[in-house]
Structure 1
Amino acid sequence: MLHEKKRQAGTNKNKTDEIDALAIAKNLIYEFNDLPLANPQDIYWTIKQTLNSRNNYNQMATNIKVSLHNLLLHQYPNYKTFFKDLESKTARHFFYKYPTPDLLKEVDETALTKVLKEANNSIRKNKALEILNAVKAAGYWENDYQEERNELIRSYINSLNRFIKEIKRLEQKLDLLIAETGYPLQTIDGVDTVLAATFIAHIGDINRFTNSNKIAKIAGIAPIEHSSGETKKQYANKLGNRELNKAFYSLALTQIRKDINPIMYEYYQKKIKEGRKKKHAMVFVQRRLVNIVYRIMKDKRAYEPPIEKEKLKAAVE
């Protein structure tokens, strides 16, 4: 790019956000009329905006769950014993019907089972009895302004249901958009719809990059080199794209599992045995994963797990 050429031609060749921003600003001011027209690729922009929308709904759903949890603790102090979390559609349906335990006083096992099956027809036979016993053990009571509390709980559940439905719709849309790019990132263990969309949204057209090292740099995984005369020093890059960095870190957490990727697991353990701290060893894993992601996007070929490659090699031999 023009601003990169200007930076390389100057006395300070270091690359930082501040230096790049200054170079871009100077180009826009002094050479605006000679700059080429922007040619954005709408597929990557669309994936990024759809992903942002999905993440916003997910954050709102998380906030609602926290508020709902705090309200339910006053109603059902031991609710975690029969519903682990509010991800369950059955749990949300139950608390919408019975926002306070007082409403369960006259409800028997048969009636409650019928209610639970409205949300999940394959509910366990003894689930209703488990709930009734837990509620009975904690006791029945009404709080002050109980109707207002009930209304709040039902309102939160309605909002949560809407957010979950919208998140699912947006993830389905992302699957279609990802398929359009031809990047088979979801063939890697640990890469789901959201992670694949994150890679594509922040990397964009893979043909912009001549090698994987450039992606490592923008992700803040490759170190920054500072030169002074004949002295060269490398520093950890904390100025990279943090969303992309987190995406590679998330993938690394999966890939260092022995049952998922034994070769990456051994590589990670080797770095620790060499004296690297776990955090530093993870950076080495991330850097290898950058190579894998880059090659999959470049070749548009499905990922072949190392263990499968070893089996194929053994079969040939």
Structure 2
Amino acid sequence: MRICVGIDAAKGTHWAVAVDGEGRVVLDRAVENDPDAIDALVGELRALGREVVIGLDVVGSFARFLEAVLLAEGFALVHTPGIAVNRAGQGFSGGERKSDPRDARTIADLVRTRDLRPILPDDDTLVALRLKVGRRRELIQDQTRRISRLRGLLCGIHPGLERTLDLTCKGPLALLTRYVTPSEIRRAGKPRLLAHLKRTPHLHGTDALVDRALEAARAQKIVVPGEAPTAELIRELANEALEARARIVRIERDLEGLLADHPDGALIRSLPGMGAVLAAEFIACVGDIRRFGSADALASAAGLAPVQRQSGKRAGWRRAYGGDKALKRVFYQSAFCAVTTKDPLSKAFYDRKRREGKHHTQALIALARRRVTVIWTMLQRREAFDPDRKAA
């Protein structure tokens, strides 16, 4: 008899519920997140029957130890997304009630009634890729907030300089680590400004940068109240931004090495528009391509498959609102890169969609959906991208 188990994973205490083929509860208890308690749960699950399928609402993170133990013991694991658990729970008696036992029972029922994606074992390279990609995403988000804050402060005391500097670049940040206010820039003059920038390696266009800064400083004569403390905070943020850029570069260098060790790395990067970062993000999101039985399943997971909308005599299709946003971004960004770098096949497909009346975003989404089929086929056949082969 098939036994379906739902585990509501948590940091301290998991809750496990097992139901048989008819939906009767045969196990319902808390499980501490420690080796002895999980080993005891494994023994109880083995006593229930041969065919045991376990659903987890969390993959990785604080559920990684539980996941590793269950996979090592040979159990079949499937993923039940949190949003599916939440919506399914509202359909049961009690409606909006929320508790760990209730969520675990909902997960077990989803395992019993739905066809869910399997959770497969991860190797060290895949885990490292996910950690590096996650850390890079955190640094990028922090950097975006930092640059936005820096722009606001600089615009308040020296708007001319803020307009002329691209604070996403290394040179302007290096300048702001020392010289911010108009009086500081005017007193320093071009020789000192250039000498300061030369202390930061690998800068280009320093002469033009210094000329723009001097022009903005000469155009402003007024001293804004609070200029000195604001300039001090700007210098601090600029130093932090430079350090964050260096950390991001180191992570991207590490991703290059990890992709070289991953069996899918070279295949994915052979597709135009898939650079090292996007390839690493794709692998981190997808894991083993065997989790997806078809290209349509992968497109659905990315939220790129159209959704039917039919009621009465009205029928049509709309863009999906769900899906893995990180995976959707990978395909969309890679499609954008392929078009802007003038990949012939991608550009021809994009131009055809534009001639059909689709606007820019719609054409890119259509191209991203086509690339899902291409990359899924490449990984299934273990073949690199061949531009002369039109059929996926």
Common fold: TM-score over 0.5: yes
- The C-alpha deviation readout for 1:143-176, integer Å capped at 9, x for no partner, is 3334322321122122212222222222222222
Is 1:79 paired with 2:161?
A: yes
User: Does the aligned pair in 2 maintain the 1:219–1:244 contact within 8 Å?
Assistant: yes
| One of 191, 198, 204 as aligned partner of 2:281 | 198
Match runs of 1:91-106 below 5 Å: 91-106=172-187
* Alpha-carbon spacing, 1:262–1:150, altered in 2? closer, same or farther (3 Å): same
1:18 aligns with 2:84: yes
Which whole-Å CA distance do the structure 2 matches of 1:282 and 1:198 have between them? Answer: 19
Aligned: 1:222 with 2:305: yes
Give the corresponding residue for 1:239. Answer: 322
How has the CA–CA distance of structure 1 residues 31 and 265 changed in structure 2, closer, same or farther, with 3 Å as cutoff?
A: closer
Query: Percent identity at matched positions?
Result: 24
State the alpha-carbon separation in 1 of the partners of residues 322 and 170 from structure 2: 41
Q: What RMSD, in angstroms, separates the aligned Cα atoms of the two structures?
A: 3.9
- What's 1:143 paired with? 224
- Which one has the bigger helix percentage? 1
| 1:109 equivalent among 175, 184, 190 | 190
Please, which of 235, 259, 263 is the counterpart of residue 154 of structure 1?
A: 235
Distance 1:287 1:93, change over 3 A: closer
TM-score, length-scaled by structure 2: 0.62
Asked if the contact 1:255/1:261 (under 8 Å) is kept, the reply is yes
Q: Aligned pair in 2 of structure 1 residues 154, 126: CA closer, same or farther (>3 Å)? A: closer
Residues 235 and 181 (structure 1), Cα distance of their counterparts in 2 relative to 1, 3 Å cut: same
SS at match of 2:159: coil
CA contact (8 A) 1:189 1:260 kept: no
Counterpart contact for 1:44–1:205, Cα < 8 Å: no
> Is 2:143 the partner of 1:61?
yes
Q: Distance in 1 between matches of 2:234 and 2:358?
A: 49
Unaligned runs of 5+ in 2: 5-18, 24-79, 90-103, 113-118
Question: Which one has the bigger strand percentage?
Answer: 2
Structure 1: which 5+ runs fail to align?
A: 33-37, 311-317
The corresponding residue for 2:379 is 297
Aligned residues: 291
Residues 20 and 174 of structure 1: is their aligned pair in 2 closer, same or farther, counting only changes over 3 Å?
A: farther
Contact 2:179–2:185 (Cα < 8 Å) also in 1? yes
C-alpha displacement of 1:95: 1.4
Deviation (angstroms), 1:178: 2.2
Deviations 1:113-157 (A, max 9, x none): 222222256545465344323311233x43333432232112212
SS of the residue 2:168 aligns to: coil
The one-letter code of the counterpart of 1:176 is G
The whole-number CA distance in structure 2 between the counterparts of 1:126 and 1:235 is: 49
Quote the residue 1:314 is aligned against. none
